[in-house]
Structure formats: C-alpha cells, structure tokens
Structure 1
Amino acid sequence: MTETLLVTGASGHLGRAVINDLLDAQKVAPANVIATTRNPENLADLAARGVIVRAADFDDPASLEKAFKGADRVLIVSTGELDLKSDRRLKQHQAAVAAAKATGVSHLLYTSMPNPEPVSPVLFAGDHYGTEQAIKASGIPYTIFRNGWYQENLFLALPHAIASGKWYSSAADGRIAHGARDDMAAAIAASLASGSKESHVYTLTGPQAYTTNEIAALVSEVTGKPLEVIQLPDEALTEGVKAAGLPEDFARIIVSFDANTRSGRIGMVTDAIETLSGRKPRTLKQFLEANKAALLG
C-alpha cells in the first residue's frame, strides 16, 4: 500500500523544499502528498502539480485534525513563532502531536535542533525539547531531525559585516557546521518517503565545523574583502544588535546562538545528510561562492 505523506508549513522555505524533493528526487506521486499551510492560495503551484493542499492553523487544533485525516506519515516543521514571553510555539507543536494521535498517524517526523535539552543557551530550545518529549509520550513511532544551523542564516550577519569589515561575535573559539537548507530538506524527504517504522533521532549538519575566525577567513578568500572578527561579551553584543535596529527579544535570540556555539553544543559534524539522502552536502565555501553577489550587496 502506498503511504500518504503530509508536510506542515509547506509555504515556508524548508517545507516547500521537502515537498519539491519528494516529488522530484523521491518520485512520490503528487496525489500521495498533502501540503498544509495557513494560506492555501500560497501553494497554488503545488496544487497545479497535483499535490493535495489543505488549510491548517497551529493555533486551531480542529483545523489540524481535519488536515491530518488520511495521512500516514506526518512531518511537523517547527513553526516560526518565537515569542520569548509565552509558550505559544510549544503549545502549537503539542496541538499538532495531539492531532496526529487523534487521526491515527502511523509515523511522526519533526524538525528540532541539536542538543535542545534545558541547559541549552539557545533561548527557544525549550520549545524543541518539549515537543520531542510530547512526541515520545504519544506512543507514535517517530523520526526527529535535529537540524543544525543553516548556511542561509549567515545572511543575517555577513552582508553588514562584509560592508563594514568588522564581524562582531561572542562565539569565541566555538565551532559550528552550517548546513545547506536544501541538503537538510533532501535528507528529511528521503526519510519521510522511506516507510521506515523504527524511531530515530538524526542530527543534520554541514560537512565541516568552523570557528567564526575561520568562517571570516573563508569569506575574505571568496569575496576579496577583509573581515575582522571582534569578540565581545554577550551583553555588549546584545546592545550592539539592538542598536542596529533589531527588537530586544530577537537580539537576545541571536546572541544566544553565539553563546551556544561558544559552549561547544553545536560543534558536531555528522554524515546523516549523506546517509539519508545519498548526496554529499554542500560545503560552506561552495555556499559562499554561490552567494557572493548577494553577500556583497
């Protein structure tokens, strides 16, 4: 029997990439793919390819149950709700797990983060840890993808840093193996389409971990622009990010990434992307070369 595969957050970057990989690389029939989103009109192109598009709102548990009906394997792409003053994101995810349980989903997949345990410096790690616990408590066989930081996240800092010649950081000598979002999507799609019934936890990373100084050296090599890394205490970096015009909560989240890197909790390198997808992940240098024009603004 052919399984029906459902992807939430299908209009987001990761969700859309997973669906495209299901259709193009995994050769899943469009009629066996359900894409959910709050705004179905945003997925008209997928509907035109034959994908089943359904409305689903993580703040509306009834809509989740309705959307999940008939799905065998469900991928919950973590939502973008990053309100540090509430547990809204965790409640959204718990609602999705409950909907999967209520509708008889046979396998639940989820996009988490590396080392989300309560001691993590990352300010939203508790959302992921709590969701993982809810999934395990549900009794549904699961696959958890602990996605490392995307190479694309470097767009948050690098264009401004390259323009000024100074990259402010509090990561010290901590290492991080940024991975390409599309590579992670390919690994997730392969697992979603695999029919695997066992429970697994995979950490998805790029192929090599670098310090901030080493990343800066690569950036300079690729762009021809000098880039000096200036290490600051977390508090000073937070004030600097706020001064650049970002809201305080978002500034604190960004700085918590550096604190996490400094602590060594994101320095791992795994071969999970290649093991799952069969393709070699893009290197950081390849990413920088492909995006040189965008990085230089």
Structure 2
Amino acid sequence: MKYLVTGATGHLGQQVVADLGARVGAASITAAVHTPAKAAGLAAQGIHVAACDYRDVAMMTRAFTGQDVVVYIPSKTYDVLQRITEFENSLQALKQAGVPAVVFVSFYADQEHNPFVMAPYYGYAPRRLASSGLNYAVIKNALYADPLVPYLPELIERKALIYPVGNQAMSFITSADSAKAIATLATRPELLNQGQTYTLTQTQSLTMPALGQIMTTVTGHEIGYAPVTTQEFGRIYAAEGDGAELASMYAAGAMGLLDQVTTDFQTITGSEPKSMADFLTRRYQPTQQ
C-alpha cells in the first residue's frame, strides 16, 4: 500500500507522516509539499517527496498517481473561494490519478448557520465529495489544544481567558491525537471507503471557567474568565493577521456550535484521547513565562 500526505511539512502534516511511518514504513509514504526543498529532512528518512501545488492539476495528478490512499490536508488560507478552487483542482487530480481512497481532513465548524468565515468551505467540501464518485472519509478536528500552551504566559499575565463565548463550552483535540487518528484511519480500509464522517474531540467539552481552572491547577497561577466582546477580540489580535477570522470562530462558539463531543477517536484508534489536563501538564514549562 502506498500513502500520500498533502501539506506534509505543515504542523499537522509532519505528525501524520511520522505516525504513518511508524505503522507502514517510510518507503510506503509520499510527502506532497509545495516546496520540496523544505522536506529535506523527510527525504533523509527514506520518505518520497513530491511537488504538489493546489493550483496545478497536472502536478497533483503526477504526485497522486500510483497512490492507494491520499490524506488531503487543506491549505491554511482564509480565502473561501481560493480554498474551494484548490479543493476542486485536487478532486480533478484525484480522479485523473485513479486514487482508490481519500481521507479528507476537515474542521467541525461547518453548520449552515455558523458565522465562522471558513464554515462555507467546511460545509461545501463533504457535500462535494459525496457527489464526486470517490471513495472517501471525512475526519473533522475540534479546536486544537496545542496553541493554548504558548498562550499560557499571556493568560497568566491577564489572569483570565478572554474568549468571547460566554457560558458555552468548546471541544478540543491535540494535534498529536488528530495525527494518530488520521494515520490509523488511512490504514483501515473498512473505515474510509463509504463516505464516513468522524469528529475528533476529547471526552468532554469545556466551559471557559472550567478550562481556566485546569490552567490554574497546571500553572499555579490564577486564570479566571473575563470575556471580551467579539469585536474587541478581533481588534486585540488584528496585528497577528487573523483576529477577525478567529473572532468569527468564537462567535460560533458563543452560539454553542463548537461543543460537540464524540467517541470517534476511540472508534478509530481503540484508545482514549489525551485530556486537556494531562496535555497541559505534560507540555507546560514554567520557564515559558
């Protein structure tokens, strides 16, 4: 069996490649990347590296040809039309290459009335896959827990979380657990060839006071909850380039649209996902302050 992972030099892609490598061996994996020079480390491990540009159907077709499973990790653009165009190009290449099975990596903020700016794309892609004639499965990630770790020093200084979600809960998953589930799914044909949809979450969603209490216990610093408005949140993080986009996502959270909890991780892997308390305890280093 041959496995190809798109976006293989990204944060999630690297972890998926590593997890797949541990399962099937480097020689069975192709890392599809926009800039092959950045994948020298993967090539050194015996992983095949292929150039892959979501704007170039012919290039993707060459990369996908001969693969048994393609794990499709989208680009990170917040431009909905660009993301859809990239996806349509990829579907065309997958069909031309005759790929037997596809694992589409998605996000759980896809409801029809979700105000997150990328919700239209996440709603469109599964429906488009359903009409594509491809064998596929969709795996939706909850919010990544990982960004909370570098965020802790700021939260310690603020003494509070400020996410504008009110009394609503949100679900999380670690990127390591996401990668584990994606790699496992790719190697289990019976779970990925009938349009199945899986949503990866920890075993419980968390209100912001509950998340703050976990952070307080882990760091030894009081972290409460003092939400700002959605507009203020966007202004605070505007300089980082995605303040408005993140604000729209938390607006969805305030509507109770980001609190789903499933057992899909256990269904795929046979194990429990890492809890928020365990994850932060293992990852937090006081020297980060």
1: CA distance between counterparts of 2:58 and 2:163?
44
Amino acid in the other structure paired with 1:6:
L
Q: Offset of 1:155 from its aligned partner?
A: 4.3
CA 231–29 in structure 1, closer or farther in 2 if over 3 Å, else same: closer
> TM-score, structure 1 length as denominator?
0.90
Q: Which residue number in structure 2 is paired with residue 19 of structure 1?
A: 17
Q: Which residue number in structure 2 is paired with residue 7 of structure 1?
A: 5
Q: Which residue number in structure 2 is paired with residue 266 of structure 1?
A: 258
- Helix, strand or coil at the partner of 2:162: strand
| Matched pairs, number | 287
**Displaced runs of 4+ in structure 1, greater than 4 A?**
none
Q: Offset of 1:295 from its aligned partner?
A: 8.4
Q: Which residue number in structure 1 is paired with residue 196 of structure 2?
A: 200
Q: Offset of 1:278 from its aligned partner?
A: 2.4
CA contact (8 A) 2:219 2:286 kept: no
Correspondence list, 1:1-297, <5 A: 3-24=1-22, 26=23, 28-83=24-79, 87-155=81-149, 157-196=151-190, 197-242=193-238, 245-247=239-241, 250-293=242-285, 296-297=288-289
CA contact (8 A) 1:90 1:128 kept: no
1: CA distance between counterparts of 2:180 and 2:273?
10
> TM-score, structure 2 length as denominator?
0.93
Q: Offset of 1:215 from its aligned partner?
A: 0.5
Amino acid in the other structure paired with 1:102:
Q
1: CA distance between counterparts of 2:250 and 2:221?
23
2: CA distance between counterparts of 1:170 and 1:65?
43
CA contact (8 A) 1:168 1:231 kept: yes
CA contact (8 A) 2:170 2:207 kept: yes
CA deviation map 1:85-115 (0-9, x unaligned):
x611111122111110111111111111114
Range 182-191 or range 264-273, more displaced: 264-273
1: CA distance between counterparts of 2:155 and 2:78?
25
Q: Structure 1, unaligned stretches of length 5 or more? A: none
RMSD: 1.8
Q: Percent identity?
A: 25
2: CA distance between counterparts of 1:246 and 1:225?
26
2: CA distance between counterparts of 1:121 and 1:131?
17
CA contact (8 A) 1:155 1:295 kept: no
CA deviation map 1:214-242 (0-9, x unaligned):
11111111111112311233223323333
2: CA distance between counterparts of 1:276 and 1:103?
27
Q: Structure 2, unaligned stretches of length 5 or more? A: none
Q: Offset of 1:294 from its aligned partner?
A: 6.5
2: CA distance between counterparts of 1:295 and 1:258?
29
